[in-house]
Structure 1
């Protein structure tokens, strides 16, 4: 995931290590925590923007933590990376140009690269430090950078989009939680900027927080961008090491209908490589529990 500032005030990654366990305690999920047993700390430093911690865990492989919040574990990252990438990409009939905002670990790039018809993949990551530690300690994700179609810009994604209007078929924002530097990614002006950078028929897919914890964040955002995008949907995936084991995606379209049914399916060869996404799961991910559907959509009209 992208830049973050979600740790309790004054805490860095190593402050959250107690008796050989890392304890994630974020202010967006009060009263609960996620703990992973550590084999060894691989890297801990302060980048220009955030506290960066990488450790080898006992059961989840290497783990990337930004400002005290788990971003990636090698054990379960595929469920997030595949769904945030393949829902919009397979919903689009013929995506050629794809922009990733955030996503410095490279996992989204890896998944986009499976689409042979994509001609141009651009990533805007604010923090070079995230890219560097991911290439060193998370090579199974960072191999996405090796694709020759990838161009890397270490800069603010909003500035880049302003410079590239009406250009991309799909924009994927792989952000962390809406506190600190990442909070602008959860505001209406950022969604307007994405809309302007989309070509007609384009799709945006953004990290959309947890339905169990954050409908108070999701609902007003969905309502506010409903007047900008032709359609707005919410899908979700399960992932054990994110708060409450679930995270959602806000999906908006420009000049086309909703995205709950794929326009294309993976080839048999690609499907064999995927560990989570299927066309059936694509459709099912938009089917929300009654409480979430009411809270996000029925109260948003």
Structure 2
């Protein structure tokens, strides 16, 4: 039998490939090409426009770090806004926190949600039916522009890179409105790419965020299928102390939130250490 390979198309001169056993779905939505493959090595894999977005095997790294870090750094987040994240993983991890009263998720492409529910059901789990969840198929830019001042404690942006449908989530207008709709100690986090290959992405988005937030930083997570070393998660906040909490305080907050012992990558120690950046990454911050 001839091997069938999925070749990722993120970079023109470097990449990765997955041997897959079958293609489960392929949909051309109004926004992008969506495909889901079955592999022996990584379980099911979702791609958008040929770029790997998530795999069943390592999705926990990205989801845990994108959610637990800002929520525990805030310490009292009740209202959380999620932009993108159509696979449901961020929503599931946000709702693990007992103190969260409302999680609004705005995903522009309903096909991503539908396919994730059908073929990646373990990633979102029961989050779709949680009464605290408000899932909206719509434009996150419009939602943020129209939301009232101080409506959210934490904003989590889980988008593609700043090309195509994800480009508008990296603009001045978006960050300005994000700052407006956050509470006084509010935090927004967003993926900023793999700086070994995408350093301009981190530098440019950091410069933009610094116009509207007094504290701009980044933290890192090692996600195997986001090739090129550490993935950076951009941090924009109104209180610099939120990134300098000791391990003991993060552990206390995790216990109170009800997430202790429920993670595979995140831990209080990893949380604190993730803000200590290698010089090759730190030099791209303001």
In structure 2, the residue matched to 1:48 is 30
CA distance in 1: counterparts of 2:122 and 2:184, whole angstroms: 34
The SS at the match of 1:273 is coil
The SS at the match of 1:213 is helix
5+ residue gaps, structure 1 = 1-17
TM-superposed CA distance for 1:93, in Å, is 1.9
5 Å-filtered alignment, 1:1-301, equals 19-26=3-10, 29-143=11-125, 144-165=127-148, 166-255=150-239, 257-261=241-245, 264-265=250-251, 266-267=254-255, 270-294=259-283, 296-297=284-285, 300=286
CA distance in 1: counterparts of 2:37 and 2:206, whole angstroms: 36
CA distance in 1: counterparts of 2:243 and 2:107, whole angstroms: 26
5+ residue gaps, structure 2 = none
CA distance in 1: counterparts of 2:270 and 2:47, whole angstroms: 28
Deviation larger for 219-228 or 55-64: 219-228
Cα contact 1:231–1:257 (8 A) shared by 2: no
CA distance in 2: counterparts of 1:250 and 1:44, whole angstroms: 31
The SS at the match of 1:176 is coil
CA distance in 1: counterparts of 2:156 and 2:8, whole angstroms: 26
CA distance in 1: counterparts of 2:260 and 2:215, whole angstroms: 28
CA distance in 1: counterparts of 2:101 and 2:223, whole angstroms: 30
How big is the alpha-carbon RMSD for the aligned residues of Structure 1 and Structure 2? 1.7
Report how many residues are paired.
278
Deviation larger for 164-173 or 249-258: 249-258
TM-superposed CA distance for 1:142, in Å, is 2.0
Distance 1:24 1:123, change over 3 A: same
CA distance in 2: counterparts of 1:217 and 1:54, whole angstroms: 27
The SS at the match of 2:261 is helix
The SS at the match of 2:243 is coil
Give CA deviations for 1:35-55 in whole Å, capped at 9, x if unaligned. 111011111121121111011
TM-score by length of 1: 0.88
CA distance in 2: counterparts of 1:157 and 1:272, whole angstroms: 33
Cα contact 2:145–2:174 (8 A) shared by 1: no
Cα contact 2:195–2:201 (8 A) shared by 1: no
The SS at the match of 1:244 is coil
TM-superposed CA distance for 1:223, in Å, is 2.3
Deviation larger for 220-229 or 133-142: 220-229
Give CA deviations for 1:101-133 in whole Å, capped at 9, x if unaligned. 000000001110110000000000000000000
